[in-house]
Structure 1
Amino acid sequence: MQSQIEKDREIAKTEYFQIEEIEKLTLDKKSFVLLPSKTFSPKNSSNR
């Protein structure tokens, strides 16, 4: 159980940083096309 929680924490951390990077990219270049849509969808986080 604990390992699952730790995994989720790691995943959440990673997703957060990915989103930060994406925001930087989109602010600079407005390059939405290059982004994986996976990162934006909240569904992916909830249905494991």
Structure 2
Amino acid sequence: MVSQSQNRIIVGLDIGTSKVVALVAEVDADGQIEIIGMGSHPSRGM
């Protein structure tokens, strides 16, 4: 039998006029949130 991870991934994306920001987090079996990645990049607007 193969065990499966019960962790969930949550992604947040903020698209603003001056920058775009992404955040990736993982929720473990205890409900704790751990940020596993983030990034930011300048934007030229809409």
> Comparing both structures, which one devotes a greater share of its residues to helix?
1
Compute the TM-score of the two structures, normalised by the length of structure 1: 0.24
> Comparing both structures, which one devotes a greater share of its residues to strand?
2
Higher RCO (CA-CA < 8 Å; seq separation 6+): 2
Larger radius of gyration: 2
